[in-house]
Structure 1
């Protein structure tokens, strides 16, 4: 994977609107709203010793059980396998068109990688720029669908009412002092259908969309979507013929403090987008 932001961001086409150290913020300890928390009585040394022995015993039993073959489970009890998202070690493709990876393998893994990279490109802020949008559409859509898709996307991304609602000017640009963010972050893929000449690939992803910076009336927010791409194998590569989108599934949000406008702007500019291959 590359840390170069190939398309200028990522988001979701439907809503329209890729590593460093990570710090984990643990939740604060609960406190008594009406006064100083009551001190917990100190446990006796003997009780602490007994508890420690029990914990060690349980750990030893669990470790010993790991070396034994688990009893067979009925097929209906098995969780879904992770084959759709597990990395395979296959080297990424090296060919690009308009900054978008191209030249994927004619197999299920290739189709998944193609759909994922195309989804990131189609969900990027590059789609709000007429020249970049034209290059993206020509790089990912099947030749016989380009004209129709170009016209429809130009109409969508040029809608003045839509641009005004998300805080962009008539040319799809952010106001001075603000940074427009539209970035898609794929979480996993699923092969709905594959027959060698065509494929249907679903991609579950989150998206970041909005304006970062002080005074933004549409701050960057998170959304979750599932995009299903219909792909065709044409002239040695996968191309998009059409795709659909639906909301979710969205996880329960954690109780985390929202980033400041300054921190969000810094994150978007310092952490580049990703390209994907399996």
Structure 2
């Protein structure tokens, strides 16, 4: 369940700030009249200032502050398509067919994080199917037992759910996760460890709810193994990193419940 200062490009310009004071004319009154002051110098000065001004504007518009920004500016390849299709299909609603590379591992981890924190995994009749689709075969039995114990009737009751993981009439249980980003911390062509930073909405929407829907931020770490596709070997979860909460007015329970029903989820691809 989480992104310098720019210079103007020039330091300014202008004259020296000096002003000439013309003294009274004390020349011989019978001497030939003084020739008018030549204007060519003034014209050259004006033209020079205009040329400098145009050059300064052009320099500033380049956005170049004199530094070498090659290290900070993304290259064209940074956002270019990789040519690898990260998701080829779905296995019972869960994305599958990931590429056998870091991109594929990240895509798998993002989609699996959504499934692991979904409302469906709280339902016993849905949970076993999810586990079998996500986990490597030799870990399925162990994970099924572990999750059955974690999502006990007592735990479900605290969430306002019955033994089947369903909310009471008039209430809607919400558990919607949205990956914000992924990071590969270890990778080989047979195993990968991926961290998925997530946010989401969790709780029970309804007038009589004692567990109102709130937002959360957390990071899931998934250890994946290649078995013809990326599958989960183990996973863990920790809080944050979380941004500062805003003072935005919370929507009422009906609006939250309606949003969950009307807005579908995504298939996540790196």
TM exceeds 0.5? yes
1:113 maps to 2:107: yes
Residue among 68, 73, 76 paired with 1:72: 68
1:142 maps to 2:146: no
1:179 Cα deviation from its structure 2 partner: 0.5
Q: How many residues align?
A: 214
Question: Does the 8 A contact of 2:199 with 2:216 survive in 1?
Answer: yes
Mind listing any 5+ residue stretches in structure 2 that lack a counterpart? 2-55
Structure-2 change in CA distance of 1:188 and 1:61 (3 Å): farther
Mind listing any 5+ residue stretches in structure 1 that lack a counterpart? 1-11, 13-59
The residue matched to 2:177 in structure 1 has which SS? strand
CA deviation vs aligned residue, 1:236-255 (integer Å, no higher than 9, x gap): 21111001111000100111
The 5 A counterparts of 1:118-267 are: 118-157=112-151, 159-234=152-227, 236-267=228-259
CA deviation vs aligned residue, 1:229-268 (integer Å, no higher than 9, x gap): 001111x211110011110001001110000111111111
CA deviation vs aligned residue, 1:25-64 (integer Å, no higher than 9, x gap): xxxxxxxxxxxxxxxxxxxxxxxxxxxxxxxxxxx96993
| TM-score when normalising by structure 2 | 0.72
Structure-2 change in CA distance of 1:198 and 1:163 (3 Å): same
1:103 maps to 2:72: no
Structure-2 change in CA distance of 1:67 and 1:108 (3 Å): same
The residue matched to 2:250 in structure 1 has which SS? coil
The residue matched to 2:224 in structure 1 has which SS? strand
Q: What residue in structure 2 maps to residue 32 of structure 1?
A: none
Question: Does the 8 A contact of 1:92 with 1:276 survive in 2?
Answer: no
1:185 Cα deviation from its structure 2 partner: 0.8
- The CA RMSD measured in Å over matched residues stands at 2.8
Q: What residue in structure 2 maps to residue 56 of structure 1?
A: none
1:68 Cα deviation from its structure 2 partner: 3.0
The higher-RCO structure (CA 8 Å, 6+ apart) is: 1
Q: What residue in structure 1 maps to residue 31 of structure 2?
A: none
The residue matched to 2:261 in structure 1 has which SS? helix
Distance 1:197 1:277 in 2: 20
